[in-house]
Structure 1
Amino acid sequence: MTKEQTESVKSGVGFRSERGPLLIALMLSTGLVAIDATILATSVPSIVGDLGDFSQFPWLFSIYLLAQAVSVPVYAKLSDTVGRKPLILFGIGLFLAGSILCGLAWSMPALIAFRVIQGLGAGAVQPMAVTIAGDVYTVAERAKVQGYLASVWAISSVAGPALGGLFSEFFSWRLIFFVNVPLCILAGLMIMQRFHEKIEKRKHHIDYAGSIVLTIALSSLILAVLEGGQAWAWNSLYSFAAFGFGAVMLVVFVLVERRAAEPVLPLWVFSRRLLLTTTLMSLGVGAILLGVTSFVPTYLEGALHITPLISGLAVAAITLGWPIAASQSGRFYLTIGFKRTILIGLGIAVLGTLSLWLSAPTPNLLLVTVSCFIVGLGLGLVASPGLIAAQSSVPWEERGVVTGTNFFARSIGSAVGVAIFGAIANSIYASHAGGQNDPATIALATGSAFLAVLVCAVAIVVAAFAMPDARLQSDGTVALSPELGG
C-alpha cells in the first residue's frame, strides 16, 4: 500500500469505495461558495440601485474575503487536530445563517456586516473540501479531482449569473442569497452521510491572539486602501495612520506567532521555498480573479448598457476556462513538472489580462468574453498545480495548514486586490465630470483597474521563476531539484 493509500485509510475513506458519492458532496459544498460569488458580482448595480452608496460596493467583496481569509488559518489548524468533518459542517451552517441575513438586509452597512458572517462560513467550506480531497485522492488523481471541483465554478458561472440576472431584472436581488438555503441543507446532509474520518484526538491550543491581531492588521490596511481618496485624502493624517497602524500590527502578528504554541499561521510555511512561492502565486491569483470578476460586469453594464444577465455570462467565461485547464493540468505537471506548467499558465493569463486592458477604451462584448476565457485557462494551469505541489510536499498532519495557507493567501489577494482596484477606479470616477453615469468615464476607470490586474499577473511570473523545480515521485511525494532547495 502506497503512502497516499495509507493516508486515505487514515481519513476513514476506502481507497476505491465510497469516494464517488463523497466527491459529489465536496462539489456541492464548493458550489455554495462558487454560486454566491458569481451571483453577487453581476447583481451589484441592482443592489446599489436599491440600497444606494455606490462608493461602498467594493466592501461587499472585501469584507467577505477578509472574513474568509482570517478564518481560514484557524479552521486549517483545527482541522489537523479535531478533523475536517466538524469544521466543514460548521462552515456550511454559518454560511447558511449569513445568507439568510444578507437576504433580509435593509441597508448597505447591514448587508456589508452580514457578508462578514457569510465570509466566516466560506472560510471553512472551500479549503476543507479541498483538504478532504487531498486526503482521499493520490497526487496523480488530484488533477482530475481538482478539475471536478473547479467544474463547480463552471456550472456556477452559468447558473449564478443567469439566476442573478433574472432575479435582479424580474424579481429581487435578495433571492440571490436565499437560493443558498436549500444548497446548504443538502450539502450538510451529504457530508454527514458520506464522509467518515478517524482522528487521533489530542489536546490543541487555539491561537486566539494571532487571529485577532491578524484581523486588526488586515482590516486597517484594507480600510486605508478603500477609503483613501474617498473619505480622506491619500496624503492625510488618517491615511498615514491607517497604513501605519496596519503595518505595525503585522509586525506584532509575526512576534505573536513566534511565541504561539500552535500558531494560526505557522512561520515555517514561509521558510520552505516551494511553499513560499506557491503562496505568493496564490496571492496573485486571488487578486486577478476578483479584479476581473468584480469589474467586468460594471464595465459592460456601464459602458455598453447591456443587461446584468448578459454581463454575467460574459464574466462567466473566466470560470469556464479555469476547470478546463485545471482538469488537464495533470497531463502537464506529470510530464514537464509543476514549475513549467505554472509558467505556461501565467503566460496565458498575462495575454488575457493584456487583452482586457487594451480593449477597454473601445468596449466589445465578444472580445471581453474571449479575454475572460483566456484568463481562466491561464489561472487553471497556475492555481491547481501550485496547490497540489504544496499539498504533496508535506505529510497528512501538515496538509490542513498548507492548504489553509494557500487559500488564506488567495483570499487576502482577492480582498486587498479588489480594494486596490476599487480605489483606482473610484479615483477616476471622482476626478471626471459625470462619474459613474458617463460611459467614457466608466471605460477609463475600469481600464485603469484592468491595467493594475495586468501588472499583478506579470508580478506573479517573478514568483514562478523563483519556484523550485518540483516533480512527482513514484511514492506520490514531490521531489525538488537539489540545487534549488525547498
Structure 2
Amino acid sequence: MKVAQAILEKEEIKQQSSNMKRPFILAAVMLAMFMAAIEATIVSTAMPAIVGELGGFSLYSWVFSSYLLMNAVTVLIYGKLSDLFGRKPVLIFGISVFLAGSAMCGMVSSMEWLIAARFIQGFGAGAVMPIASTIVGDIYTKEERAKIQGYLSSVWGISAIMGPAIGGLLVQFVSWRFVFWVNIPLGLLAIAGLVLYLHENVERKKHEIDYKGALFLFLSISTAMIVLVEGGIRWPWMSSPVLLISSAAILTFVLFIRQEKRAKEPMMPFSIWKEKSIFIANMTSLTTGVMLIGISSFLPAFVQAVMGQTPIVAGFTLTAMSIGWPIASTISGRLLFKIGFRTTSVIGGAALIAGSAVFFTLTPDDGPLWAAFGSFLVGIGMGMTTTAFIVSIQSTVSWEQRGSATAANMFMRTLGNTIGAALLGGILNTRLQSYFREEGIGETIDLDSVNRLLSPEEASKLSADAMHALKEGLTYSLHSVYIMVFVFAVISFALILRLPKEKKEAQEK
C-alpha cells in the first residue's frame, strides 16, 4: 500500500512538473507553427519584387512548387519518424533545415538558386505542422485539447493576417530578402524552447518506414509538375519529352498505390478512404488546395503589375482572405452542432464559388477593394469547409486511426497546393506566350519581359506601347488562371453535395 502510494505521489510530482513546463512547450510549438504558417502569404506578397530583381518570370510558379513538393512528400515520413525517435529531435531537425533553407533563400542571386533553396526549406517545413500538432496531443488531456486547438487556430489566423502586411512593409521599406531572414530568430527561439522544456521518454518500437512509397510519390509528383509547368512552353504538348515524362508520372503513381497496399505501415493508409465522408472530404481538400494556391500566388502580381498598386496594398488583398478564414472557422464550429457538418460544408462551398466568381470577372478597373472582397469570400469558404471536414473525419474513424486520417487530409490539401502551383503556373505561361504571339509582339516581348513590369524602376523605362502590351497580356493570362480557379470551386461544391447526410438529418426528413 505504501509502495503504491509512493509511486502515485511520484507520478503526481512528475505531472505537476510537466504541467509547469507545458506553457513554455506550447509557446515553442506555436512559434514554430507561426514560422511555417506565415511563409505562404509573406512570400506571395514579396514575389513580384523578387521577380523584378532576379528576373525569371517563367519560373515564377516553381518558387512555390519546389517548396510545396518537398513539404507534401515529407509530411507523412516525419510523422513516422517521430514515433521512432520522439517528437523533439524530429521537430528540431525539421526547424533547423527550414532555417538553413531560409538563410539560403535570402542570399540567392538568381531564380534558379532561389528554387533550389526553396526545396531545402520545404524539406524542413514538412516536419513542423504534423509534429507540432502531435506534441500538443501528447502533453494535453482530451478535455484540454479543445481549448488548446483554439490557440493553434489563432496562430493560423494571426500569421495569415500579419504575413501580407509584414511582407509588404519589408519589400517596400527594407528588402525582399528579409522576408526569408525573419524566420531565423523565430526558429531559434522555438528550438530553444523545445530543448529546455520538452523532455520525452521514448518507447523504442520497431517500425518499418515506407521509404519506397515516399520515393514513388516524390517521383510521381515531381514529374507531373514538370509536365504541367513546362508543357506548351518548353515542349509542345504532344512532343516526345512531354509524353515520356507523363508516362513516368503515371507509372510511378501506380507503383506508389501498389506499394501502399503492400506496406505494413503505409505512408497513405488507403483503408480509411473507404468511408464516403473521408473520401469526399479528402478530394475536396485537394481541389480547394488548388484554389488556395491559385489566389495566394497570383493575386499580388495582378494587383501590383496590372492595377499598379504597392506591395502593401497587394498584401491587403490577401489579408482579407486571412480575416475571413478564422472568423468562418469559429462560426463553423458552432454551426456544426446546430445544422450538421454537411450543411455547414455546403454553405462554405457556396462561399468558395462566390469568391472565385469575383476573380473570374475581375478587371483592372475594379480596384483592390473588390479583389479583397473576393479574397474575403474565399476565406469564409475555406474556414467553413476545413473545420467541418476535420470534425467529420475525426468523428468517423476510431481513436487509433484519428492521427492517420487527419494527416491524410492535411497531405491532400498540400498536394492540391503543389499541383495547383504547377498547373496554374503552366496555364499562366502558356496563355501569356500565346497572347504575345497572337498580337505579333513575340519577337520583342517574351515571358521574362514581365519582370520589368514588376520592377518600378524598370517599368518607368518601358514605352507606353510595351507597358500596355504587358499589362493586357498579364490580364489576359491571369483571367485564364481565375477561370480555372472558378472551375475548381464548382468541382469542390459538387463534391460537397455528395457528402452523406448525418443520421439525425436523415431521420428528420
TM-score, normalised with respect to structure 2: 0.84
Q: How far apart, in 2, do the equivalents of 1:141 and 1:466 lie? A: 34
**Which residue type is aligned with residue 322 of structure 2?**
T
Query: 1:71 Cα deviation (Å)?
Result: 0.6
**Which residue type is aligned with residue 367 of structure 2?**
N
Matched, 1:181 2:213: no
Q: 1:404 aligns with which of 407, 412, 422?
A: 407
Matched, 1:240 2:243: yes
Q: How far apart, in 2, do the equivalents of 1:142 and 1:329 lie? A: 18
Name 1:379's counterpart in structure 2.
Answer: 382
SS in 1 for 2:490: helix
- Select between 424-433 and 152-161 the one with higher mean Cα deviation: 152-161
Label 1:338 to 1:128 Cα distance change in 2 as closer, same or farther (>3 A): farther
Matches within 5 A, 1:325-404: 325-360=328-363, 362-404=365-407
Label 1:222 to 1:293 Cα distance change in 2 as closer, same or farther (>3 A): same
Whether the 8 Å contact between 1:40 and 1:176 is mirrored in structure 2 is: yes
Name 2:303's counterpart in structure 1.
Answer: 300
How many residue pairs match? The answer is 465
Name 1:452's counterpart in structure 2.
Answer: 484
Name 2:117's counterpart in structure 1.
Answer: 114
Whether the 8 Å contact between 2:307 and 2:365 is mirrored in structure 1 is: no
Matches within 5 A, 1:25-64: 25-64=28-67
Q: How far apart, in 2, do the equivalents of 1:167 and 1:292 lie? A: 21
Name 2:213's counterpart in structure 1.
Answer: 210
When you count helix as a share of all residues, which structure comes out higher? 2
**Which residue type is aligned with residue 67 of structure 2?**
Y
Q: How far apart, in 2, do the equivalents of 1:74 and 1:447 lie? A: 38
**Which residue type is aligned with residue 496 of structure 2?**
A
Q: How far apart, in 1, do the equivalents of 2:486 and 2:143 lie? A: 32
Query: 1:158 Cα deviation (Å)?
Result: 3.8
Matched, 1:74 2:77: yes
Whether the 8 Å contact between 2:328 and 2:381 is mirrored in structure 1 is: yes
Whether the 8 Å contact between 2:313 and 2:368 is mirrored in structure 1 is: no
Pairwise CA RMSD: 2.8
Name 2:494's counterpart in structure 1.
Answer: 462
Larger Rg: 2
Query: 1:176 Cα deviation (Å)?
Result: 0.9
Query: 1:228 Cα deviation (Å)?
Result: 0.8
- Deviation readout 1:223-250 (Å, 9 max, x if unpaired): 1000011111112121112212101110
Q: 2:282 aligns with which of 279, 286, 296?
A: 279
Q: How far apart, in 2, do the equivalents of 1:338 and 1:23 lie? A: 29
Name 1:289's counterpart in structure 2.
Answer: 292
Label 1:450 to 1:142 Cα distance change in 2 as closer, same or farther (>3 A): farther
Q: How far apart, in 1, do the equivalents of 2:212 and 2:225 lie? A: 20
Whether the 8 Å contact between 2:333 and 2:387 is mirrored in structure 1 is: no
Unaligned runs of 5+ in 2: 1-11, 437-444, 454-469
Query: 1:144 Cα deviation (Å)?
Result: 5.9
- Deviation readout 1:393-446 (Å, 9 max, x if unpaired): 444543332222112111110010121111111122101236645222222211
Whether the 8 Å contact between 1:39 and 1:164 is mirrored in structure 2 is: yes
**Which residue type is aligned with residue 250 of structure 1?**
F
Q: How far apart, in 2, do the equivalents of 1:294 and 1:205 lie? A: 37
Query: 1:139 Cα deviation (Å)?
Result: 7.9
SS in 1 for 2:232: coil
**Which residue type is aligned with residue 314 of structure 2?**
S
Unaligned runs of 5+ in 1: 1-8, 472-478
Query: 1:195 Cα deviation (Å)?
Result: 4.7
Name 2:163's counterpart in structure 1.
Answer: 160
Name 1:475's counterpart in structure 2.
Answer: none
- Deviation readout 1:318-374 (Å, 9 max, x if unpaired): 111111111232211122222221111111111111112112364321111111011
Identity score, percent = 39
